[in-house]
Amino acid sequence: MTLETPIVAPAMQLDRRADFPILQQQVRGQRLVYLDNGATTQKPGVVIEAERDFYEKSNANIHRGVHWLSQHSTDLYDNSREIAQAFLHAERVEEIVFTSGTTEGINLVAATWGRKHIQAGDEIILTMLEHHSNIVPWQLLAEEKGAVIKVVPILENGELDIEAYRGLLSDRTKFVGLVHVSNALGTINPVKEMTAMAHEVGAVVLIDGAQAVAHKVVDVKDLDCDFYVFSGHKIFGPTGTGVLYGKYKLLDAMPPWKGGGDMIHTVSFSGSTYAPVPQRFEAGTPNIAGVIVLARALQYVQEVGLEAIAAHENALLEYATALLAEMPGISIVGTAEHKAGVLSFLVKDIHPHDLGTILDMDGVAIRAGHHCAMPLMTHLGIPGTARASFALYNSFEDVDALASSLKKAQKLFGV
């Protein structure tokens, strides 16, 4: 296909591919083009080295030992909390709870704050763009308590219908769950505005930031959200790690969720008393190495600069959108005015799973399916999409490889 006006890639704004060892290999004899960052990000060498360094020099259990290694490991773990606090611009270090990821953070809030405050007849507002992790825990709670879930619809371009949201809010609204950036469409939601609207009716707000923190600056004080959650593996850190931010007054009033060591103050068979936050929510031996390595990943992102990352990924998204929009038979799903680095699309007469398999033969890794957003896909009347999602190490060459492989797939299927 020859375009009448060729689309030319702008000059590279970031060139960080060399930081990531996994990207130096070939896949199926092809240069690896990794465009599945919405599912998980690759890890820079400094993050991989941080994990090795911990186990070689610092490994010991924390908060319990008097020997040097235990104290040193404890210092590293506690310093990681300060790094996460600064990253999110939280008011207090006690507002940072380490979790296994976004899913656990949301379940923790539902099982503690939710069980304590949600009653029969109360209303929980979610949006059509939510990941299953911010739907199912609230469904379980609503079923248990007799609460009602209401859903904010979307406009044709994939943006939330803010006027409809305004109409759903009432004095019965007790909780609002909002995704910051849609993992399926890339829509950046106006969460600050929506949080303020929820607070006007006295509702508590949790923001799912899993797809936001690696792509834009997040300031929880500015957002004024009550809770904010994200996963380490989506911001160049290890799997099985994450952060729950909560306003101190809310966390301090919440009961424990999991019982065990390190979350207690005293224990007897007649009863127990509990540690202050955040230790109250971190029962048992935590993922010590994971938390310390996650902190190194947050530092790496800040060293590169989130503003530079956002500018680079926006340029990639604009370029990719323009290329695919010019290709016959390809339709882009989700055209919101404000998007992060996610491009969902359909190719006429080719199932997304087949497309993903064919692109893999060229070393191009994309995601195909419902992206844990089945209610959204049902609303759109499709089983799923193909999704290319960008990170700071992607390049315009990667986008060209995606477009070239898509053309091969269309030729193979005769479309």
Rounded Cα distance between 381 and 57, Å, is: 54
Query: And the tokens for 352?
Result: 């997304």
Burial class (CB in 10 A: 0-12, 13-18, 19+), 265: exposed
Mark whether 372 is an active-site residue.
yes
| Residue 365 phi, psi dihedral angles, 5° rounding | -100, 115
Among 46, 41, 53, smallest CA distance to 19 is for 46
What is the SS3 assignment for the chain?
CCCCCCCCCCCCCCCCHHHCHHHHCEECCEECEECECCCCCCCCHHHHHHHHHHHHHCCCCCCCCCCHHHHHHHHHHHHHHHHHHHHHCCCCHHHEEEECCHHHHHHHHHHHHHHHHCCCCCEEEEECCCCHHHCHHHHHHHHHHCCEEEEECECCCCCECHHHHHHHCCCCEEEEEEECECCCCCEECCHHHHHHHHHHCCCEEEEECCCCCCCCCCCHHHHCCCEEEEEHHHHCCCCCCEEEEECHHHHHCCCCCCCCCCCEEEEECCEEEECCCCHHHCCCCCCHHHHHHHHHHHHHHHHHCHHHHHHHHHHHHHHHHHHHHCCCCEEEECCCCCECCEEEEEECCECHHHHHHHHHCCCEECEEECCCCHHHHHHHCCCCEEEEECCCCCCHHHHHHHHHHHHHHHHHHCC
Rounded Cα distance between 375 and 158, Å, is: 13
Residue 82, CA distances (Å) to 140, 299, 394 in order? 33, 11, 30
Of residues 148, 264, 332, 372, which has the active-site annotation?
372
Q: Which amino acid, 223?
A: L
Among 178, 259, 186, smallest CA distance to 37 is for 186
Catalytic residue set: 372
